[in-house]
């Protein structure tokens, strides 16, 4: 009992100093995480260059082609062994980070960091249609976890540092510090507090500075947007948003269906699923090498006017199917970058169709390509603010904010009306049963106290009720309430208001259950 009281009091006292502590620790996580992701980004660039060189070299040489398929077989076996050794590296990595931050999963940074790094490199070298962003976010988060454990920090602080690391990972991967910060808060941590936001911003900016200092300040996508889209074309933005919402819902269904199809045959395991994906990469490398890897070259061809309508449709279909084959196999790689490429292709197809049938001026094709990337991302991930900021930072264009918002909001609404769940939440729900027993045992072994903060939204079941009237989750302690910058001690007769920031404390083993219950109380009206 004394030890429990000591843990509670220490956790609360430590949390009171978070605004100062987390700035310094955010700087450290941003620097180390930025370097890790920068190295990963450089390694992947070499993997892409080596792949192109190999495909050019073996062209028209049957014996060398056979040799390359043998190499692909070896790569599939190696990645399969890595996934079997550390299952948490499978897939994007973002659902795993979300699961741990919310207390539903447990990872070991000492295993995840090297396995994810090596697995991601081998998959991109083999040509699988995967991105670097998910692994970068997981690598950054695991760096934050590693620093926390080396410094012997508590679980509350560790999850804050993992959020900082996730932000640093995206910032270093895409030269997008603001998007990194927003994604970490909006998608990973799913909550805002001033101390967390400042530390996450510190980590994101630090990682971006390190990355841009070595790789340059040029945006990831070199768009030539010479003109702002006139408002007389805005009716086309509504149509584009509807198309993206529908296709985003279909994309989510397809990725999940691909996972199901891979798991149905009993003869397939971690390795044989990957071998099928690497074999498909080998075939496409001979007949359509442009769809291999993340697909950055497709953006260049599309925005430079080198791709006609028929070719764009063909590339979109093949890239879409190959992305499902690659991701569904459980390979360590993300869907973030490939879905941006698919969104760009959709935007190009829509705009070229508009030129032919609706009198759209060809000079605005690139505008629609950029807008479609943000809209498709929003429809799939359901993080509109992150999508808008990400495309603004990645393209270096600040003149499209209004049109970006129109397309993103329309795509968001359409995907929601189609009952399409956000992709990372769906992936996390599928991951939990598979990892549930092992994760539960790991969490039960720890009795550390964890703090979580929640904001009461207008219209929620908490608004207008007193503390004693609420059926709070079991094993959850309400330790503080912040209102208009003032900290209050919650009592039974304290009336809760919209905008109040609640801080709760719980055992680590109960964190996932309580997090979901508190979100329902704070964010829903029933």
pLDDT surpassing 90 at residue 443: no
Helix %, strand %, coil % of the chain (to 5): 70, 5, 25
Task: For 132-169, write each residue's pLDDT tens digit.
Answer: 888 999 999 999 999 999 988 878 788 889 999 999 99
Residue 390 pLDDT grade (very low, low, confident, very high; cuts 50, 70, 90): confident
Domain boundaries, the chain: 2-215, 231-267+281-425, 447-523
Q: Pick the residue with more confidence: 118 or 499?
A: 118
Is 521 in contact with 470 (CB distance < 8 Å)? yes
Hey, what CATH topology would domain 231-267+281-425 get?
Clc chloride channel (1.10.3080)
| Contact in structure between 352 and 312 (CB atoms under 8 Å) | yes
Contact 307, 300 (CB under 8 A): no
Q: What is the model's pLDDT at position 2?
A: 44
Point out the least confidently predicted range of 40-49, 261-270, 342-351, 442-451.
442-451
Mean pLDDT of the chain: 84
pLDDT of 88: 92
> What mean pLDDT do residues 108-121 have?
94
pLDDT greater at residue 266 or residue 344: 344
Phi-psi region of 472 (alpha: psi -120 to 50; beta: other; left: phi over 0): beta
Please say whether the beta carbons of 169 and 37 come within 8 A. yes
pLDDT at site 437: 52
What is the rounded CA–CA span in Å between residue 455 and residue 519? 9
Q: What is the pLDDT of residues 501-518, one digit of tens each?
A: 888 877 777 777 777 788
Residue 346's pLDDT is what? 95
The dotted CATH code for 447-523 is 3.30.70.1450
At a CB cut-off of 8 Å and minimum separation 6, what does 48 contact?
124, 293, 294
Q: What is residue 426's predicted lDDT score, i.e. its pLDDT?
A: 86
Q: In angstroms, how far is the first alpha carbon of the chain from the final one?
A: 37
pLDDT range class, residue 77, cuts 50, 70, 90: very high
> Residue 525 pLDDT > 70, yes or no?
no
Domains 231-267+281-425 and 447-523 equal at CATH topology level? no
Choose the weakest-confidence range: 80-84, 358-362, 520-524. 520-524
Contact by Cβ (8 Å): 198, 23: yes
Per-residue confidence band for 3, with pLDDT thresholds at 50, 70 and 90: very low
Instruction: Provide the pLDDT for residue 359.
Output: 83
What pLDDT is attached to residue 164? 92
Residue range 397-412: average pLDDT? 83
Nearby residues of 526 by Cβ (< 8 Å), 6 or more positions away: 461
* Residue listed under structure tokens 């070595």: 214
Quick one: tokens of 412? 């968001």
Greater pLDDT, 186 or 271: 271
**Could you tell me which residue, 220 or 322, shows the higher pLDDT?**
322
The more confident residue out of 85 and 462 is 85
Cβ contact 497:457 at 8 Å = no
Chain centroid offset of residue 239 CA: 27
pLDDT interval class at 244 (50, 70, 90): very high
What are 521's two structure tokens?
């109380």
Alpha-carbon distance of 324 to 308, in angstroms, equals 24
* pLDDT of 4: 44
**Distance, CA of 505 to CA of 343 (rounded, Å):** 42
More confident residue, 133 or 122: 122
Tokens 């199809």 -> residue = 261
Angle, helices 155-174 vs 94-101, to 10°: value is: 150
C-alpha span between 54 and 483 (Å, rounded): 61
Which of 191-205, 276-290, 400-414: highest mean pLDDT? Answer: 276-290
DSSP 8-state class, residue 187: I
Most confident of 61-65, 103-107, 129-133: 61-65
For the chain, what percent of residues have pLDDT higher than 90? 40
Per cent of the chain over pLDDT 70 is 89
Fold category of 2-215 in CATH = Clc chloride channel (1.10.3080)
pLDDT band at 319 (very low <50, low <70, confident <90, very high): very high
Q: What is the pLDDT of residue 19?
A: 66
Mean pLDDT within 221-236: 75
What pLDDT score does 447 carry?
58
List Cβ neighbours of 163 (8 Å cut-off, separation of 6 or more).
101, 141, 144, 184, 185, 188, 189, 196, 200
């Amino acid at each position: 009992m004394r030890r429990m009281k000591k843990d509670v009091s220490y956790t609360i006292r430590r949390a009171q100093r978070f605004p100062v502590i987390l700035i310094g620790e955010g700087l450290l996580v941003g620097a180390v995480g930025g370097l890790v992701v920068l190295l990963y980004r450089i390694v992947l660039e070499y993997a892409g260059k080596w792949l192109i060189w190999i495909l050019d070299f073996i062209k028209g040489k049957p014996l060398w082609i056979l040799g390359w398929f043998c190499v692909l077989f070896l790569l599939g076996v190696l990645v399969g062994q890595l996934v079997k050794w550390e299952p948490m590296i499978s897939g994007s990595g973002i659902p795993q980070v979300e699961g741990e931050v919310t207390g539903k999963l447990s990872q070991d940074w000492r295993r995840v960091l090297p396995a994810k790094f090596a697995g991601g490199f081998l998959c991109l070298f083999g040509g699988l249609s995967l991105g670097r962003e998910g692994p970068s976010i997981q690598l950054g988060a695991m760096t934050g976890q590693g620093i926390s454990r080396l410094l012997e920090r508590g679980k509350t602080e560790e999850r804050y540092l993992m959020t900082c690391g996730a932000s640093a990972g995206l910032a270093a991967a895409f030269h997008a510090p603001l998007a990194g910060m927003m994604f970490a808060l909006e998608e990973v941590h799913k909550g805002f507090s001033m101390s967390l936001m400042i530390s996450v911003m510190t980590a994101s900016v630090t990682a971006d500075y390190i990355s841009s200092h070595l790789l340059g300040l040029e945006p990831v996508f070199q768009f030539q947007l010479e003109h702002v889209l006139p408002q007389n074309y805005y009716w086309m933005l509504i149509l584009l948003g509807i198309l993206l919402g529908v296709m985003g819902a279909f994309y989510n269904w397809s990725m999940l269906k691909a996972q199901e199809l891979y798991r149905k045959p009993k003869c397939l395991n971690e390795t044989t699923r990957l071998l099928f994906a690497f074999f498909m990469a080998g075939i496409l490398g001979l007949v359509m090498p442009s769809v291999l890897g993340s697909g950055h070259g497709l953006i260049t061809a599309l925005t430079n006017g080198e791709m006609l309508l028929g070719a764009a449709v063909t590339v979109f279909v093949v890239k879409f199917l190959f992305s499902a084959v690659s991701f569904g196999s459980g390979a360590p790689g993300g869907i973030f970058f490939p879905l941006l490429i698919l969104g760009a292709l959709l935007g190009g197809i829509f705009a070229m169709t508009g030129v032919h049938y609706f009198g759209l001026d060809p000079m605005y094709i690139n505008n629609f390509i950029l807008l479609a990337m943000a809209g498709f991302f929003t429809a799939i991930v359901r993080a509109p603010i992150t999508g808008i900021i990400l495309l603004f930072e990645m393209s270096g264009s600040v003149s499209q904010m209004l049109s970006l918002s129109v397309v993103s909001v329309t795509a968001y609404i359409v995907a929601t009306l189609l009952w399409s769940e956000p992709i990372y939440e769906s992936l996390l729900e599928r991951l939990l049963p598979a990892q549930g027993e092992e994760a539960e045992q790991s969490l039960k072994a720890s009795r550390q106290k964890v703090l979580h903060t929640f904001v009461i939204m207008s219209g929620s079941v908490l608004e207008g009720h007193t503390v004693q009237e609420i059926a709070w989750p079991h094993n959850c302690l309400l330790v503080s309430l912040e209102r208009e910058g003032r900290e209050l001690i919650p009592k039974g007769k304290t009336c809760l208001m919209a905008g109040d920031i609640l801080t709760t404390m719980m055992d680590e083993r109960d964190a996932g259950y309580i997090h979901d219950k508190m979100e329902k109380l704070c964010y829903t009206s029933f």
